[in-house]
Amino acid sequence: MKIAPPDPGLLSLNTATVRERWNLREMIEGCARHGIRGISPWRDKLAGLGAKEAAKLIRDNGLTVTGLCRGGMFPAADRKGRQSALDDNLRAIEDAAILGARCLVLVVGGLPAGSKDLAGAREMVRDGTGETLERARSAGVALAIEPLHPMYCADRACVNTLAQALDLCDELDSGASGDLGVAVDVYHVWWDPQLQQGIGRAGDKRLLAFHICDWLVPTTDLLNDRGMMGDGVIDLPRIRSWMTAAGYRGFHEVEIFSARNWWKRDPDDVLGVIQRRHQECC
Write out pLDDT tens, residues 158-187.
999 999 999 999 999 999 999 999 999 999
Write out pLDDT tens, residues 186-221.
999 999 999 999 999 999 999 999 999 999 999 999
Grade residue 269 by pLDDT with cuts at 50, 70 and 90.
Answer: very high
Write out pLDDT tens, residues 66-100.
999 999 999 999 999 999 999 999 999 999 999 99
For the chain, give the percent of residues with pLDDT over 90: 99
**pTM above threshold 0.95:** yes
| Cis amide prior to 8 (ω within 30 degrees) | no
The full set of domains in the chain, from first to last, is 8-281 (3.20.20.150)
